Amino acid sequence: MQQVTCVNNEHQQRPALVLSYHTLLPTVKDMDLVGVAEIREMLGGISRQRVSIIANSKGFPDPVAVLAMGKVWRRRDVARWIAEHRPSQD
C-alpha cells in the first residue's frame, strides 16, 4: 500500500490511502475454498469418482465457481453437508 497526500476542496492536506486492485480481492485462503481433492480428504480418502458422484447429487452444496480445473466449494458448506449426511466422517 502507498500513502499519498490528498487535498480536498477546502485546501486542507490530509493523508490518503491508495489501495491497489489486488488488495481488494479476497484470497483463496480467505475464502477457504475446496475442490474434489480436498473433499476427498474430508470424506476419509474416498475415490475421486465417488466424490464426483456425491458432489453432483441432489442436496450437495452448489459450487461457488466452476473453473478450468473443476468446481470449487466453500469448505464450511461442504463440512456442514458432511456433518448432516455422513456423521461418521466427523
Per-residue pLDDT tens for 5-52? 445 555 556 665 555 555 556 665 667 999 999 999 999 999 999 999
The predicted pLDDT at position 87 comes to: 72
What are the residue boundaries of the structural domains of the chain, listed by start? 26-89
The predicted pLDDT at position 88 comes to: 73
pTM of the complete model beyond 0.75 = no
> What's the CA angle centered on 65, arms 40 and 72, to 5 degrees?
10
The predicted pLDDT at position 6 comes to: 47
Q: 26-89, what's its fold? A: Multidrug-efflux Transporter Regulator; Chain: A; Domain 2 (1.10.1660)
Residue closest to 28 by CA, chosen among 81, 56, 54, 64:
64
Radius of gyration of the chain, Cα coordinates, nearest whole angstrom? 21
Q: CA distances (Å), 56 to each of 4, 28, 31, 80, in order?
A: 50, 23, 22, 16
